[in-house]
Homo-oligomer: A and B are copies of this chain.
Amino acid sequence: MIRKIAIRDRRFELDGSAGSDAVHKDPIYSYAVTELIDEGGLVGTGIAFTLGAGNELVCQAAKYYADKLIGKDIEEIMAGFGTLFYQFSNEQQFRWLGPHKGVVHLALASVTNACYDLWAKKRQQPLWKLLTSLSPEALVATLDLSYLEEELSAEQAIALLKENQTGRETRSAILKTGYPGYDTSIGWFNYSDDKVRENCKKAIAEGFTAMKLKVGSADPERDIRRANIVREVAGAEIKVMLDANQQWTLPQALRICSQLKSMNPYWIEEPTHPDDVIAHQVLAEAISPMKLALGEHVPNRIIFKNYLQSRSAAFIQVDAVRVGGVSEFITVSLLCKKFGIPVVPHVGDMGQLHQHLVLFNHISLNHEALFLEHIPHLQKYFLQPAKIRHGVYQTPQEPGSSCDFINLS
């Protein structure tokens, strides 16, 4: 039974220009951390990610939800988590502040993730193991599928999980080989051309076969020059992704993308505003066969549904510390499976939680094990930092979701 809760506001300064992109020149990686403490002293830790200012608002909203869990048993909570998620996200007064987006939804992510963490710790399993061992019915009971009825009912979700049980054992080999990573830290926005060149070489030497460059500059020539530098250093085989962080207008995106075609980007990420489904649809059609990736700023399953229905996103970058936590992440992954679109999470969690979720997606949902973003900057602050060797995430073995911090007091 959950006896106590604690909410913590954790902020981390980054070194140099790390973390910078076209919007965030000076980010402070921050977490609204929820701790659920049970009668045996076990601590379930959940996080939501922000960039600094306002992290305290997410913390306050998380307390609003977490307080309602005191006195409840984690197994009972999780047996009907889908219903609880529905209730929390539709709390009649708080709902006005969203609905299902912004501060209140980030707060729900933090609390939801703490529930999954405590559940896995209670069962003494790493989260990926717990999730992959649940029955389809038990798994779907943890999801809120409301507002998806025309695309994904509970029955259809269960059927999708059952269909994809074929081949599970073969796919479980990934637990030994590890999940491929890609390097986001070669080309932060404020890095010089020389530093990008050098980082690119270093990433290849470390074994990465995919890497990402931040674009979205006020000067499109800069973007094009740097994209060509990365391609030149990386050679033809390495996958190079370009991330515009929503900085282009639709007319700009149409123009710049046509100029980027020759360097053959694997995807163009967040070309324009994350709410603009129709702009992405227009762009995707215009630049085909070049592909769009998006999701970092998409707050909920309903907007992801629209992106899938409009065929505008070729890669879905749902982030479990932006949407309503593990539960909604799985919901979106099920939707993506239905539409045949790969899930390549944005890792606001630095990959700690998502290393579990992509293993689940691959083993239980038969999503292709493409690669998981890797951002190393906060490794020293996590109790069990993700282990990357030769560009590959090593399967975590400790109970829980790997989201505990060191010295959190």
- Interface positions of A (Cβ within 8 A of B): 23-28, 49-54, 56-58, 60-61, 64, 90-106, 146-147, 149-150, 246, 249-252, 272-279, 282, 297, 299-300, 302-303, 305-306, 309-310
Please, which residues of chain B bring their CB within 8 A of the CB of A104? 54, 102-103
Q: What's the Cα separation between A310 and B281 when bound, in Å?
A: 12
Contact in complex: B27, A93 (CB < 8 Å): yes
Contact in complex: A102, B95 (CB < 8 Å): no
Closest B residue by C-beta to A150: B250
- Min CB distance, A107 to chain B, in Å? 9
Closest B residue by C-beta to A21: B92
Which residue of B54, B272, B279 is within 8 Å of A61 (Cβ)?
A: B54
- Min CB distance, A173 to chain B, in Å? 37
14 contacts between A and B (CB under 8 A): A26-B92, A27-B93, A28-B93, A51-B95, A53-B94, A54-B64, A101-B101, A101-B102, A102-B102, A102-B105, A150-B249, A273-B302, A275-B303, A276-B302
Contact in complex: A147, B272 (CB < 8 Å): yes
Contact in complex: B24, A93 (CB < 8 Å): yes
Contacts known (A92-B23, A103-B97); A53 close to B57, Cβ less than 8 A: no
- Min CB distance, A274 to chain B, in Å? 7
Please, which residues of chain B bring their CB within 8 A of the CB of A100? 273, 275
Contact in complex: A97, B102 (CB < 8 Å): yes
Which residue of B51, B250, B309 is within 8 Å of A93 (Cβ)?
A: B51
Contact in complex: A99, B53 (CB < 8 Å): no
Which residue of B57, B105, B310 is within 8 Å of A278 (Cβ)?
A: B310
Please, which residues of chain B bring their CB within 8 A of the CB of A54? 61, 64, 93-94, 96-97, 104
Q: What's the Cα separation between A24 and B90 when bound, in Å?
A: 10
Q: Across the A-B interface, give the 8 residue pairs with the lowest CB-CB distance, nearest first.
A: A102-B102, A52-B93, A53-B93, A103-B103, A149-B249, A51-B96, A147-B273, A51-B93
Please, which residues of chain B bring their CB within 8 A of the CB of A105? 102
Please, which residues of chain B bring their CB within 8 A of the CB of A102? 97-98, 101-105
Which of A25, A64, A102, A276 neighbours the largest number of chain B CB atoms within 10 Å of its CB?
A: A102
Q: What's the Cα separation between A12 and B26 when bound, in Å?
A: 40
Which of A25, A64, A101 neighbours the largest number of chain B CB atoms within 10 Å of its CB?
A: A101
Contact in complex: B51, A61 (CB < 8 Å): no
Please, which residues of chain B bring their CB within 8 A of the CB of A96? 24, 49-51, 54
Please, which residues of chain B bring their CB within 8 A of the CB of A147? 249, 272-273, 276, 279
- A57-B57, A57-B60, A146-B249 given; name 10 further pairs at CB < 8 Å: A51-B95, A53-B93, A54-B94, A54-B97, A98-B101, A99-B273, A100-B275, A101-B275, A147-B249, A149-B251
